[in-house]
Amino acid sequence: MNDRQTTAVITVLIALCAAGCGSDEPDSITAVSWGGSYGRAVQEGVNVPFTESTGIRVDVEDYNGGLAQIRAQVDIGDIHWDVVDLEISDAVRGCDEGLLERIDVNALEPGPDGTPAAEDFLTGSQVGCGVSTLFWSTVYAYNENNIPGARPTTMADFFDLNAFPGRRGMRRVPQVNLEFALIADGVPLDQVYAQLDTPEGLDRAFAKLETIKDEVIWWEAGAQPPQMLADGEVIMTTAYNGRIFNAQVLEDQPFVIVWDGQLLDVGQIAIVAGTPRLEEAMRYVTFASMAESMARIGRRISYSPVRKSGMPLVTTHVTAGVDMEPHMPASPANAARALRYDWSWWVDHQDAMNERFSAWLAR
């Protein structure tokens, strides 16, 4: 063989390998989550133990919620996300649109005491494609050092620029913000979604948001709010409660959570429709939805298991040793003035609200 032939043979081999070598490698999946301290809790509490017990490697990607990236992958037919951690309303919408695989709740592992999965999950937390994993909530929080005088205690205080002048952080999405606006405007918790269902109620919510619009810094990633509080860039901000907890406990930040009017939601994981790694993805979902996995997350960040058998396993924080129960959004003391997120309202209105909200922002 002369040089040229050798080169040709090597080229062909490389081409064949590129086409074939990588294709039958079922031992890794891509799990997409929300990054930051929650992402680390999932990594330590679920991904690492999953790899240890199955040998399937888990590649982690971060995102900030929404269906856009899943939609783009399914539309183009090039699916590289296998399992996604998403909000329940997105899980339902994704299911209806055929973006997610259907999952039978009976295929999931029973509780540690043998209770079938369908009974072990708290009622109302299972829908078509998504498997519920934890309770989380959006709250607002402030940095004690930056508010010297009277402290905010109610949702109305968050919107009160006279009593608490300064900039606020809010997530750059319509959900949660509209509810908060109505709660702050004096709407009783059980009337919030009834109000949102009327054009006047919607106008009222946007009008309330308008009153603080000039003072709002909009965040997207869950890791931003604690950072903005620490930097003093905002005097208070809405945030995922677990992120604030981690800053309080692990970084000794003087942050205070205001639980009044918190929006309590259920987080779900689901499988992207048409993934070539369906079997591995299903094994991951089964593993992540076991009470033990949920409890391992609950021992790292203040999101509580949605399985009845999960909560007793949580106990204390894995490194800091603090009792987790008082920090959980669903604990009775914190949930006294909590609003349950009505995902069915958002399933029907998300598109309309996204459009109205982004137009409102751009004005």
Stretch of 95-103, 237-245, 276-284, 304-312 lying at the interface with another protein (CB under 8 A):
95-103
Q: Please choose, from the candidates 2, 28, 89, 15, the residue with its C-alpha nearest in 3D space to the C-alpha of residue 279.
A: 28
Beta strands in the chain (DSSP E): 28-33, 57-62, 83-87, 131-143, 168-171, 216-219, 236-240, 255-271, 304-305, 339-340
Beta strands in 82-176 (DSSP E): 83-87, 131-143, 168-171
What is d(CA 39, CA 301) in angstroms, rounded to the nearest whole number? 10
Nearer to another protein, 58 or 129 (CB): 129
Nearer to another protein, 48 or 72 (CB): 72
Q: Which of 75, 78, 200, 252 binds another protein (CB under 8 A)?
A: 75
Residue window 279-318: x/- pattern of binding to another protein, with contact defined by CB under 8 A: ----------------------------------------
Residue window 214-233: x/- pattern of binding to another protein, with contact defined by CB under 8 A: x-xxx------------xxx
Provide the 10 A C-beta neighbour count for residue 343: 23
Q: Does 27 bind another protein (CB under 8 A)?
A: no
Q: Does 351 bind another protein (CB under 8 A)?
A: yes
Nearer to another protein, 333 or 362 (CB): 362
Q: Please choose, from the candidates 362, 349, 337, the residue with its C-alpha nearest in 3D space to the C-alpha of residue 178.
A: 349
Q: Name which of residues 122 to 181 contact another protein (CB under 8 A).
A: 165, 167
Q: Which residues pair with 134 in a beta bridge?
A: 267, 305
Quick one: tokens of 288?
């992540």
Stretch of 25-33, 68-76, 105-113, 117-125 lying at the interface with another protein (CB under 8 A):
68-76
Nearer to another protein, 44 or 348 (CB): 348
- Residue with token string 């968050």: 158
Quick one: tokens of 224?
């931003």
- The least distance separating another protein from the CB of residue 89, rounded to whole angstroms, comes to 10
The DSSP result for 79-90, as a single string, is ----EEEEEHHH
Quick one: tokens of 222?
């869950």
Nearer to another protein, 98 or 312 (CB): 98
Q: Does 213 bind another protein (CB under 8 A)?
A: yes
Nearer to another protein, 79 or 318 (CB): 79
3-state secondary structure of 362: helix
Q: Which of 8, 14, 68, 163 binds another protein (CB under 8 A)?
A: 68
Q: Name which of residues 231 to 260 contact another protein (CB under 8 A).
A: 231-233
Nearer to another protein, 165 or 321 (CB): 165
What is d(CA 340, CA 332) in angstroms, rounded to the nearest whole number? 13
Nearer to another protein, 53 or 198 (CB): 198
- The least distance separating another protein from the CB of residue 68, rounded to whole angstroms, comes to 5
Q: Which residues contact 95 (CB under 8 A, 6 or more apart)?
A: 102, 127, 128, 129, 130, 270
Q: Which of 66, 278, 286, 342 binds another protein (CB under 8 A)?
A: 66
Q: Which of 8, 15, 16, 72 binds another protein (CB under 8 A)?
A: 72
Q: Is 25 left (phi over 0), alpha (psi -120 to 50) or beta?
A: beta
The DSSP result for 203-270, as a single string, is HHHHHHHHHHGGGEEEE-STTHHHHHHHHTS-SEEEEEHHHHHHHHHHH---EEEEEEEEEEEEEEEE
Q: Does 354 bind another protein (CB under 8 A)?
A: yes
Q: Which of 98, 188, 254, 312 binds another protein (CB under 8 A)?
A: 98
Nearer to another protein, 97 or 323 (CB): 97
Q: What angle do CA 25, 31, 37 make, to 5 degrees?
A: 140
The contact set with another protein (CB under 8 A) reads 66, 68-69, 71-72, 74-75, 93, 96-99, 165, 167, 213-214, 216-218, 231-233, 273-274, 347-352, 354-356, 358-363
